[in-house]
């Protein structure tokens, strides 16, 4: 029927139930249960229920199972932790737990777990462990108690006390009832991640139980055999528990090795059933066993056998198995024991790259090729990746480009091959070649004398193509500006031809590339005096001197003036060849680490070890710019701040220079923070733009941008009156400990602000180390003869230097385990201050700076994020997990980082946002 008819029928039923509850005649238990059940059904249909709660609580005291069951079901679904009835409910639960009736105890434990609130944890977290380890507790109740305790620990770990029961719960792994063992294993696995010492005795017991399972016949464990596979879920849980610990003692290790060999042997046996459930259960145990072998990384024989087993799956007809095999082999490739075994499957992996229909499997194939690459097969793998790149899915092209660039650099014996590979990369997928890639090729060319002439010749030939990607123009402009003289002797690449070739691309390029080409032209003035007049004519043209873009106009004016007034010697000094870049971590590797997450750290370290000593890394180069020009380089980062200049730094500016150290300004008397300053400060934690302060006279607006450990903030001061502000002096004030952790530089502003006018101040920011406090912005001025003094907190917070990191679920939880020291984790459970809206929460986490990782947490209602805090001194990996409890209107926020002060500060900042 229609929606209206349904609502009419439900309203009629609600009125009838309400009259029954309010009637003079007392209802019997059956009637009460029936009406409460109807209310529950109506609620599940999507209608609000505002009565019947007391009747449901009364059902809890019934001695009939069905009535008590409906009461608990209603409570679990409709009663939140803020309810006034919670005390009555807790009393009823306590009575049932004390009754020793297994059926009633089970219902009570299920209710506690379903509600799972902090209040439930406070009331029962001390009682449930006693029930769990009591000798007279029934098996079914033990199962429920273990899972209930696990639920409370996940909700409120600080309220679950560790004590004598922990050593006794470990012995549940020896219980005769496999249901109890399964529940206990789930509980111990979770507890052991945070308290490994408390549960280390579980290792030998887990190995013993696993041994009994894998050596048993399918008929031995009839109740727990799934399609001829004995206890597959318990086996998987035990294998995961063992991954919380390093390899065990030799005696236990021998037995564990036998178990793992047995699992690998069973995988080779013909299937006992053709049904998919049999193969799924069998393979689940196998893959978890391989994960444990990889985790221990100590048995060469097992690692090679695991690799061979996975190699068989690479051509399996089941897509999921092919995906899992590729993913596991990526990890195996990083082990010294199994790397060579993985390499034997290179042809199969290349074939998968070409023929696989599923894009996610193709992406794993790319990952595996990257992981198995070494000097013996680098050229083959790079060639295959380049070939695949022409038809690759758009979603993975950027990642393939990064990997090709890294492999070409890492394993280049002949650097002419490296240059050819990168130029080929730009030709095939120029749109996906990030700045880091072409920065890197320039760094290497500048640092290697033997490849400079070849690079100049190659880019000159590549630029002759009718259509060139803009990244190729950038590389060509930079290299020809530095080394064009090395090919100028050939009439086919004379100075004028080089200039005409570059200038023919000029009008097609974006502003940053044009700025780079102007820098190349002024370099040509020094390298080739014969084209000086031609270049001056270009710089003198109206399209340059009157360009609408201030950067291009400034460059044209300065370069023209430099070429006119400077002597040959001065020009040669100012425009000399760029010096070699200092050795730093490759920026491409850093980008891949950000993209793929902390799991690539090992690979980065290997890259550092294997990189040739004479190939220096470095910060992103400023493109062919001069040491005289103070203009920001177009190839610098988005902020225009650039990295550390490769040339020796000029002497610091005098006190009359443009840049003034903000710390030298000391306010005569600093006003206390303006009312509402703290609230406004908190609003900017997850956003960069907006109004920071406003009163009847003055409005302060902010616009900020941050990248890695650098930032730039534009502060706009608006005069809301019709009268001038005189002696207008904004000052940034930092506490002593903040000065050493945060470098701020600002340009002074005009001391007079006209009525209705707005002035802008730029603050350049560098994060040296992690910090807690924020700088204070103090503004002093005179308005109509009255002295005004305003102070506000400037929202420069640690999370602004976040770089988001995407990672898969396995990588996330692997890293989460690594950060398991108590001092690395900070957790906060707090009441929601704002409506708990999913989309707003997602936006705030992204605005906070971390990547929002979808489908990582087993609970889809939870939010998981990852990122890296960049400072000048170090990089700090950060993982966060936000668990909302809509029923209780509360959140639990957990942050894990490699530095305790960072965990604490990020937790404080983010907690205030919800």
| 432 labelled ligand-binding | no
In our burial notation (b when 16+ CB lie closer than 10 A, e otherwise), range 760-794 reads ebebbbbbeebbbebbbbbbbbbbeeeebebbbbb
Query: Which single residue is written with the structure tokens 């031809």?
Result: 497
Copy the structure tokens of residue 413.
Answer: 């014996």
Q: Residues near 861 by Cβ (< 8 Å), separated by ≥ 6?
A: 883, 884, 886
Q: Choose among 674, 787, 783: nearest CA to 721.
A: 783
Copy the structure tokens of residue 382.
Answer: 């790079």
Copy the structure tokens of residue 596.
Answer: 């793929």
- Is the distance from CB of 893 to CB of 882 less than 8 angstroms? yes
Pairing of strands 742-746, 660-661: antiparallel
| CA 359/CA 370 separation, integer angstroms | 17
First to last CA, the chain: 42
Q: Which helix (H) or strand (E) holds 784?
A: none
| 37 labelled ligand-binding | yes
Backbone φ and ψ of 396, nearest 5°: -115, 5
Quick one: three-class SS letters along 391-429?
CCCHHHHHHHHHHHHHHHHHCCCCHHHHHHHHHHHHHHH
- Is the distance from CB of 225 to CB of 280 less than 8 angstroms? no
| 783 labelled ligand-binding | no
| 8 labelled ligand-binding | no
| CA 517/CA 503 separation, integer angstroms | 8
Q: Which helix (H) or strand (E) holds 691?
A: strand 689-694
Copy the structure tokens of residue 593.
Answer: 């680490």
**What number of other Cβ atoms are within 10 A of residue 491's Cβ?**
7
Q: Choose among 144, 153, 213, 218: nearest CA to 183.
A: 144
Hey, CA dihedral for 232, 238, 243, 244, is it positive or negative?
Answer: positive
| 30 labelled ligand-binding | yes
| CA 870/CA 708 separation, integer angstroms | 5
Q: Calculate the alpha carbon distances from 170 to 106, 165, 832 in Å.
A: 22, 9, 37
**What number of other Cβ atoms are within 10 A of residue 209's Cβ?**
22
Task: Classify burial at 617, counting beta carbons within 10 Å of its beta carbon; exposed 0-12, middle 13-18, buried 19 or more.
Answer: buried
Q: Residues near 458 by Cβ (< 8 Å), separated by ≥ 6?
A: 416, 419, 420, 423
Query: Which single residue is written with the structure tokens 């290997």?
Result: 606
**What number of other Cβ atoms are within 10 A of residue 219's Cβ?**
9
In our burial notation (b when 16+ CB lie closer than 10 A, e otherwise), range 710-733 reads bbbbebebbbeeeebbeebbbbbb
Annotated binding site: 20, 30, 34-38
């Amino acid at each position: 029927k229609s929606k209206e008819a349904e609502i009419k029928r439900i309203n009629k039923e609600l009125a009838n139930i309400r009259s029954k509850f309010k009637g003079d005649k007392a209802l019997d238990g059956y009637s009460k249960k029936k009406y409460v059940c109807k209310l529950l059904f109506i609620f599940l249909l999507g209608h609000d229920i505002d009565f019947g709660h007391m009747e449901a609580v009364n059902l809890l005291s019934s001695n009939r199972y069905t009535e008590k069951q409906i009461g608990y079901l209603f409570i679990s679904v409709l009663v939140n932790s803020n309810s006034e009835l919670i005390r009555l409910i807790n009393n009823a639960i306590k009575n049932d737990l004390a009754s020793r009736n297994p059926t009633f105890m089970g219902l009570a434990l299920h209710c506690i777990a379903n509600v799972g609130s902090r209040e439930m944890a406070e009331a029962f977290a001390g009682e449930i462990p006693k029930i769990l380890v009591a000798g007279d507790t029934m098996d079914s109740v033990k199962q429920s108690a273990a899972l209930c305790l696990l639920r409370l620990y996940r909700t409120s770990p600080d309220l679950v006390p560790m004590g004598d029961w922990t050593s006794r719960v470990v012995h549940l792994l020896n219980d005769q009832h496999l249901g109890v063992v399964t529940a206990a294993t789930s509980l111990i696995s979770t507890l052991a991640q945070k308290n490994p010492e408390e549960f280390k005795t579980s290792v030998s017991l887990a190995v013993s139980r696993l041994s009994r399972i894998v050596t048993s016949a399918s008929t031995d464990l009839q109740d727990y055999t799934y399609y001829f596979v004995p206890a597959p879920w318990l086996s998987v849980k035990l294998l995961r528990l063992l991954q919380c610990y390093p390899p065990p003692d030799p005696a236990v290790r021998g037995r564990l090795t036998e178990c793992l060999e047995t699992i690998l042997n069973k995988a080779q046996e013909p299937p006992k059933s053709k049904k998919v459930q049999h193969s799924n259960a069998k393979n689940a145990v196998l893959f978890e066993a391989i994960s444990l072998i990889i985790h221990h990384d100590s048995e060469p024989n097992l690692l090679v056998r695991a690799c061979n087993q996975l190699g068989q799956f690479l051509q399996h007809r089941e897509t999921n198995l092919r995906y899992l095999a590729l993913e596991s082999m990526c990890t195996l490739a990083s082990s010294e024991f199994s790397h060579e075994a993985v390499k034997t499957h290179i042809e199969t992996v290349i074939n998968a790259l070409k023929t696989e229909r599923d894009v996610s499997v193709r992406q794993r194939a790319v990952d595996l090729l990257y992981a198995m690459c070494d000097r013996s097969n680098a050229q083959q793998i790079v060639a295959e990746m380049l070939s695949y790149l022409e038809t690759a899915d758009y979603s993975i092209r950027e990642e393939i480009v990064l990997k090709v660039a890294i492999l070409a650099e890492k394993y280049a014996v002949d650097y002419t091959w490296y240059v050819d590979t990168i130029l080929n990369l730009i030709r095939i997928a120029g749109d996906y070649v990030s700045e880091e890639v072409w920065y890197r090729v320039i760094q290497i060319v500048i640092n290697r004398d033997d490849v400079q002439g070849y690079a100049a010749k190659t880019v000159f030939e590549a630029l002759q193509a009718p259509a060139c990607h803009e990244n190729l123009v950038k590389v060509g402009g930079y290299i020809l500006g530095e080394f064009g003289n090395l090919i100028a002797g050939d009439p086919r690449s004379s100075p004028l031809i080089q200039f005409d070739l570059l200038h023919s691309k000029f009008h097609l390029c974006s502003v940053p590339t044009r700025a780079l080409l102007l820098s190349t032209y002024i370099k040509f003035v020094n390298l080739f005096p014969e084209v000086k007049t031609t270049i001056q004519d270009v710089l003198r043209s109206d399209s340059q001197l009157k360009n609408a873009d201030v950067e291009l106009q400034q460059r044209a004016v300065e370069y023209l003036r430099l070429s006119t007034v400077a002597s040959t010697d001065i020009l040669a000094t100012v425009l000399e060849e760029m010096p070699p870049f200092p050795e730093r971590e490759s920026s491409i590797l850093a980008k891949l680490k950000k993209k793929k997450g902390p799991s690539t750290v090992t690979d980065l370290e290997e890259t550092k070890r294997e990189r040739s000593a004479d190939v220096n890394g470095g910060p992103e180069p400023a493109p062919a710019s001069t040491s005289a020009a103070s203009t920001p380089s177009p190839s610098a980062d988005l902020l225009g701040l650039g990295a550390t200049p490769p040339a020796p730094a000029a002497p610091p500016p005098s006190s009359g220079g443009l840049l003034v150290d903000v710390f030298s300004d000391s306010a005569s008397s600093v006003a206390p923070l303006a009312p509402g300053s703290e609230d406004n400060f908190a609003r900017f934690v997850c956003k960069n733009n907006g109004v920071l302060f406003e009163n009847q006279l003055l409005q302060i607006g902010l616009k900020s941008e941050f990248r890695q450990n650098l930032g730039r903030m534009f502060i706009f001061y608006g005069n809301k009156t019709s009268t001038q502000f005189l002696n207008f002096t904004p000052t940034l004030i930092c506490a002593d400990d903040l000065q050493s952790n945060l470098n701020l530089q600002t340009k002074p502003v005009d001391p007079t602000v006209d009525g209705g006018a707005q002035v802008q101040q730029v603050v350049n920011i560098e994060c040296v180390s992690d910090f807690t406090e924020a700088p204070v912005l103090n503004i002093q001025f005179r308005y109509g003869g009255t002295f005004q003094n305003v102070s506000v907190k400037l929202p420069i917070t640690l999370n602004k230097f976040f770089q988001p990191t995407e990672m898969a679920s396995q990588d996330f939880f692997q890293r989460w385990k690594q950060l398991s020291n108590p001092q690395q984790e900070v957790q906060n459970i707090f009441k929601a201050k704002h409506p708990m809206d999913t989309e707003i929460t997602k936006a705030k986490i992204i605005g906070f700076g971390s990547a929002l990782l979808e489908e990582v947490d087993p609970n889809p209602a939870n939010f998981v994020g990852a990122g890296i805090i960049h400072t000048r001194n170090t990089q700090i990996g950060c993982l966060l997990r936000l668990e909302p409890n809509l029923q209780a209107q509360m959140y639990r926020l957990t942050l894990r980082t490699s530095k305790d002060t960072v965990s604490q500060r990020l937790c404080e900042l983010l907690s205030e946002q919800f």
